[in-house]
Structure 1
Amino acid sequence: MRRAVITASATAAGVVLLLSLKPHDPSTAPAISSAGADSARNTTQDTGQGTGQNTTQGSGPGSGTGAAAGGATQTVTGSAVNTRYGPVQVKVTVAGGKISKIDVVQYPTRDRRDQEINSSAIPQLNQEALAAQSADIDVVSGATYTSDGYTRSLQSALDQVKK
């Protein structure tokens, strides 16, 4: 009988503690940028609220190879892709027919674990995309959902690049 009372009390205390925990509201997430394979990583403050709008006057979807006309420089924002842990959205700068810079304007930052995973995964994804010059890149182990959202948003941005 005494065990039952102790067990019930401990269970009730555990439930009360769990219910008293409140998730924190993360502040704005920094945008993670990559400007070429040899340059240093740039981090800037962003609101994390991308529009999913093309920032250039593109005439229609391209093949997604990232090639822009001649030496023109274009900056295109891909669509925000919802993942299990939050939206992922990238902004791509294409110069001289090559991807020159990728900014990740939205990515999951709901909790400390999301921030930890994405702080290492996003630079890896940026590096791979710059090396491949396309959205055909490998996923980062441990960041499968972010990797999937990243490649889909990157492909949508590359599809908007004006030929």
Structure 2
Amino acid sequence: MKRIVIAVLSTISGLVLLFSYPTSTNKSVTADTVPAAGTATTTGSAAAGTAATAAPTAAAAAPAAAATSGTFTGAAVQTRWGTVQVQIVVADGKVTSAEAIQYPNSNGRDQQINSYAIPVLNSEAVAASSAKIDMVSGATVTSGGYLKSLQDAIDQAFPA
């Protein structure tokens, strides 16, 4: 009887430890991990004749009061599995659209992973209006490239 109680308590303890393990990391891209300036192309610019009313406090944060509008394309980031590049649309200082315009899709596994990862990354980038978003589990390489390219596009939209 004593062995049964010990076995049950050990199993419960193991399950508690297993379920309390964090499975997601909250990694964000900082300015020092973005490719060197001048490596990206910009397809839009800040609205003419308008000035930002608040300076960004961090490179990854997009100020809500900024008057920036346009389409900005981040640097094409080479990853282990292929190139990742993000394009954002900014209206009135807020990211209204984010889209991965390049990402690995040369084989079935890439297509499978990125068919769920890219939409998640796109929606999180719009919701956060910054590059401070979680990486997608199972798509770590693509997520890392996405975050770097997104950060570069945001830096273009909201220069310091």
| Fold shared by both chains (TM-score > 0.5) | yes
2:112 to 110, 113, 116: 116
Which residue pairs with 1:100 in the alignment?
A: 96
Which residue pairs with 1:16 in the alignment?
A: none
SS of residue matched to 1:54: coil
Contact 2:74 2:149 in 1 (8 A): yes
State how far apart, in whole Å, the 2-side matches of 1:113 and 1:55 are.
32
Which residue pairs with 2:84 in the alignment?
A: 88
Contact 1:129 1:137 in 2 (8 A): yes
Q: Please, what TM-score do these two structures have when normalized by structure 1? A: 0.61
State how far apart, in whole Å, the 2-side matches of 1:64 and 1:54 are.
18
Structure 1 residues 57, 97: closer, same or farther in 2, change over 3 A? closer
Which residue pairs with 2:44 in the alignment?
A: 56
Which residue pairs with 2:4 in the alignment?
A: none
Report the alpha carbon displacement of residue 132 of structure 1 after superposing the two structures with TM: 1.5
Report the alpha carbon displacement of residue 64 of structure 1 after superposing the two structures with TM: 3.6
Which residue pairs with 1:139 in the alignment?
A: 135
The percentage of aligned residue pairs carrying the same residue is 51
Larger fraction in strand: 1
SS of residue matched to 1:155: helix
Report the alpha carbon displacement of residue 73 of structure 1 after superposing the two structures with TM: 2.2
Q: Count the aligned residue pairs.
A: 109
Which residue pairs with 1:13 in the alignment?
A: none
Report the alpha carbon displacement of residue 153 of structure 1 after superposing the two structures with TM: 0.3
Report the alpha carbon displacement of residue 69 of structure 1 after superposing the two structures with TM: 3.6
Which residue pairs with 1:129 in the alignment?
A: 125
Q: Please, what TM-score do these two structures have when normalized by structure 2? A: 0.62
Report the alpha carbon displacement of residue 128 of structure 1 after superposing the two structures with TM: 1.3
1:76 to 72, 77, 90: 72
Report the alpha carbon displacement of residue 103 of structure 1 after superposing the two structures with TM: 1.6
1:15-74, CA deviations, whole angstroms, 9 ceiling, x for partnerless residues?
xxxxxxxxxxxxxxxxxxxxxxxxxxxxxxxxxxxx94111246xxx734234742x521
Ranges of 4+ aligned residues in structure 1 off by more than 2 Å: 62-70
Report the alpha carbon displacement of residue 162 of structure 1 after superposing the two structures with TM: 4.5
Report the alpha carbon displacement of residue 79 of structure 1 after superposing the two structures with TM: 0.1
State how far apart, in whole Å, the 2-side matches of 1:122 and 1:57 are.
25
Structure 1 residues 152, 113: closer, same or farther in 2, change over 3 A? same
Structure 1 residues 162, 128: closer, same or farther in 2, change over 3 A? closer
Q: CA RMSD in A?
A: 2.0
Which residue pairs with 1:149 in the alignment?
A: 145
